Amino acid sequence: MFKIYKRTIHIGMSENPQGRLEYQIEEGSGSSLSKILAIPAMIAGTIVGTLVFSVFFAVLLIPLGIVGYKAWRLMKTVQQQNLRQGEGDSISAEYTVISDSEPDKK
């Protein structure tokens, strides 16, 4: 917390004939106002900072969430299409038979 002081320097002759430098420090009226406003200003700064921080992450995370959801749905759709295509397929194989005997000719 900042304190504002008003300095007043009086130079002159006093009761002491040698002359001396006198000064006093007076607390200005502005510092009492700053004491009154310090706590509400800190509370307001905390609230505003929290709101700005929250809005920043909302602006950042909402689009990322939407993109992630769309990517997840696309992956699910592709998986379902692959399963549907796999149900009607047949397995084909090539094979060769090796035998000593000749096949019967009809």
pLDDT tens-digit series, residues 22-49: 555 555 555 677 778 888 999 999 999 9
| Sign of the torsion formed by the C-alpha atoms of 90, 93, 99 and 101 | positive
In this structure, are residues 32 and 1 in contact, taking their beta carbons and an 8 Å threshold?
Answer: no
Rounded distance, CA 29 to CA 2, Å? 13
Q: Tokens representing 64?
A: 């990322």
With a cut of 70, say whether residue 71 has pLDDT above it: yes
Where is pLDDT greater, at 83 or 31? 83
Which pLDDT does position 100 carry in this prediction? 76
Model pTM score: 0.38
DSSP E strands, the chain: 5-12, 20-27
Rounded distance, CA 71 to CA 73, Å? 5
Among 8-12, 38-42, 58-62, 70-74, whose mean pLDDT is lowest? 8-12
Where is pLDDT greater, at 69 or 18? 69
